[in-house]
Every structure is written in structure tokens, then in C-alpha cells.
Structure 1
Amino acid sequence: MRYGRGPDVLRDLGFSLAPGSFHFITGPSGAGKSSLLRLIYLAARPSKGLIHLFGHDVAHMPVRERPHLRRRIGVVFQDLLLLEHLTAFDNAALPLRLAGHQPPDYRNDVAELLAWVGLGQRMHAMPATLAGGEKQRLAIARAVVGRPEILLADEPTANVDHEMALRIYRLFVELNRLGTTVLIATHDQDMVARSGRPALHLENGRLSLRPPQGPAQA
């Protein structure tokens, strides 16, 4: 993958994620972690090569056929991208609204999800009034409200303290236990080491698998 006429950001990568697996992506700043996630959630196309997602060759798939695959992928963006004019409830429910569902059909499910991520008492709050950890958990709720098969997260604990980072990590663990495939890009080497999960290490445009460094912790 390259941007414009620049050098390759990613090259000669080959890996697969088994359904229900849990991996981190590690690597220095600028290594291409976010670019790799963009390829997986279909926000970018590879300059060359193949990407198979849910059994489909998405690298050459027509644009009009991509939305139905995107709905099977949840994304927690590094910049969160919450809509400031919507309440926490409406932010979390947005993917369902865009998919054509009506409020009576999802009201209870969204309220239950927000309670599960610890925002049950904050569902009517505006994003500007939420603390950093609350915003992160709201972004996670929005990413999983459609029950995606794959959850991608780009630096989801970058701007929170250690205690909140651990709480957010535990949410990912619970989602994985429910069957969601999880892939997290992070600089938090301590969290990776403590998790006991394998990491895909990206550096100089190439990817290597690093086995778990310790026992898994919930």
C-alpha cells in the first residue's frame, strides 16, 4: 500500500485472522498500523495484492458491493469521531439508524449496551460533557451495536489512565468471549505483555507474529 507516488507504507504482508481470535498490532509510530486497519475495514484499497474478507476478494470488489460487508465490521477510531450534536444514546445507535432500523426496534438494546459499558446513567449526555474514558467506551458501544463479526480498534487506550485502559481492555475481552474477532492497534506494550495475546508487529513495512508474552488476564 502506498499513498500517491510515495514509498510503500505496507509491503509483502501475508496473514490471516481466525474467527474468534484476539490479536494486537504493535509497531513504532508511522509504521502503518492505521493504514493496515483502513485496508481491513475497506476505507482504502491496496496498491496491489489481495485481501479476502468473509470469503470475498474485497481488493477488487466494486464500491457498491462494499457496504454490506462493512456492516459486519466494527471500528473504534483513534480520533473517536463522535458526533457532538448527538447524545450518547444517539451516537451509539447511529449505525442502526443508518441501516434503516427504527427507534422502537433498538431502544432497549442500545440502553442495555450503554449500561454494559458503564454509561447507563450517561446515555442522555452530550459528548462534550463526557470524560475521556467515557468517550472511549461510547465509541466502543457504537462500534459493536450492530454485533459485528470483527472489531478493529486504533489506539483505544491512548488517552486514558492505566485503570481506565484496563477497564477498556476488559470490554474487548468480554466481546471476544462472545465470539467477536478482535484486532487492536496499540503502543501500550505493558497491556500487550499482560494480556497473554499474540501480537502482529509491524515495522519497516513488514509484519511479523510475536507469540503471547505471558498468561492471559481478564
Structure 2
Amino acid sequence: MRYGRAPETLKDLSFSLTPGSFHFLTGPSGAGKSSLLKLIYLAARPSKGLLHLFGQDVSRAPAVERPALRRRIGVVFQELLLLDHLSAFDNAALPLRIAGGRPDEYRQDVAELLTWVGLRSRMHAMPATLAGGEKQRLAIARAVVARPEILLADEPTGNVDHEMAVRILRLFVELNRLGTTIVIATHDQDMVARSGMPVLHIEEGRLVHHGLPGEAG
């Protein structure tokens, strides 16, 4: 993958993720972690090579097919991208609303999800009044409300304290237990080591390790 005429940001990557697996994506700043998430999320196209998702090559999928594919993928962006003019409830419900759902059809499900992420008492609050950890959990709720098959998260614990980071990780682990494939890009090596989950480690755009932390290769 390259941006314009710049040198390749990602090159010679070859790996597969088992459905229902949990992986951390690690590497130094500028290694290509966010770019790889963009490829998986179909926000960018590879400059060459193949990208298989859900049993099909999506690297050259027509633009008209990409929104339906994206709806099967949840994303927690580093910038969170919450809509300030919508309440916490309406932010979380946005993917269902965009998909054509009616409030009376999803109201209970969204309320239960916000309760699950610890935001029951804040569901009518506006994003500007939420603490950093609350915003992170709201972004997670929005990413999973449509029950995606894959959840991607870009530095989801980068702006919260240790206690909140542990709580957020537990949310991801529980989602994984329910069958969602998880990929988390992070610089938090302590969290990666404690989790015991497999790692995709990239350096200078190349995959240099795919396996458990500390394993060779």
C-alpha cells in the first residue's frame, strides 16, 4: 500500500486471522499500523496484492459493494469521531439508524449495550460532558452495536489511565468471547504482555512477527 507516489507504507504482508481470534497490532510510530487497519476496514485499497474478507477478495470490490462489507466491521478510531450534537444514546445507535432501523426497534438493545459498557446513567448526556474513559466506552459501544464480525481498534487505551485501560481491555475480551474477531493497534506493551494474546508486529511496513509475545519468528 502506498499513498500517491510516496514509497510503500506497507509491503510484502501475508497473514490470515482465524474467525473469532484476538490479535494485538504492534510496532513503532510510523510502522504502518493505522494504514493496515484502513486496508482491513476498506477505507483504502491496496496498491497491489489481494485482500480476502468474509471468504471473498475485496481488494477490487466495486464502490457500490463496499458499504455493505463495512457494516460487517466495527471500528474504534483513535480520534473517536463522536458527533457532538447527538446524545450518547444517539451516537451509539447511529450505525443502526444509518442501516434503516427504527428507534422503537433498537431502543432496548442500545440501552442494554450502554448499560454493559457502564454508561447507563449517561446515555442522555452530550459528548462534551463525558470524561475521557466514558467517551472511549461510548465509541466502543457504537462500534459493536450492529454486532460486527470484525472489530478494529486504533489505540483505544491511548488517552486513559491504567485502570480505565484494563476495563476497556476486558470489554474487548468479552466481545471476543461472544465470537467477534478483534484486532487492536496499540503501543501499550505491558497490556500486550499481560493479555497473552497473539501479536502482529510490523516494522517499516513489513510484518516481522505473528504469534504469541516473546515467540521467535
- TM-score bucket of the superposed structures, by smaller chain: over 0.9
Runs of 4+ in 1 over 6 A off after TM superposition: none
Equivalent residue number for residue 177 of structure 2:
177
1:150 aligned partner, one-letter code: I
Measure the CA separation in 2 of the matches of 1:9 and 1:181.
25
Report deviation, 1:209: 2.7
1:193 and 2:193 correspond: yes
> What is the RMSD computed on CA atoms of the aligned residues?
0.9
SS in 2 for 1:153: strand
Read off the aligned partner of 1:175 and give its amino acid letter. Answer: L
Identity %: 79
Structure 2 letter corresponding to 1:17: L
- Name the residue aligned to 2:51: 51
Provide the rounded CA distance (Å) in 2 between the counterparts of 1:192 and 1:27. 12
Are positions 1:158 and 2:161 aligned together? no
Q: Deviations 1:141-175 (Å, cap 9, x if unpaired)?
A: 00000000000000000000000000000000000
Where structure 2 has 5 or more consecutive residues not aligned to the other structure, the ranges are none
Q: Does 2:78 align with 1:74?
A: no
Equivalence for 1:8: 8
Rounded Cα–Cα distance in structure 2 between residues aligned with 1:125 and 1:50: 43
Q: Determine if contact 1:152/1:183 at 8 Å carries over to the other structure.
A: yes
Residue aligning to 2:134: 134
- Is residue 143 of structure 2 the alignment partner of residue 114 of structure 1? no
Residue number in structure 2 paired with 1:93: 93
Q: What's 2:23 paired with?
A: 23
Paired residues of 2:30 and 2:204 also in contact (CA < 8 A): no
Q: Partner of 1:207 in structure 2?
A: 207
Q: Is the 8 A contact 1:193 1:212 kept in 2?
A: no
What TM-score, normalized by structure 1, do the two folds share? Answer: 0.97
> When the two structures are superposed, what TM-score results if normalisation uses the length of structure 2?
0.97
Give the Cα–Cα distance (whole angstroms) in 2 for the partners of residues 86 and 101 of structure 1. Answer: 17
Q: Distance in 2 between matches of 1:55 and 1:209?
A: 24
- Indicate how the Cα distance of structure 1 residues 22 and 115 shifts in structure 2: closer, same or farther if over 3 A, else same: same
Q: 2: CA distance between counterparts of 1:209 and 1:183?
A: 15
The number of residues matched between the two structures is: 214
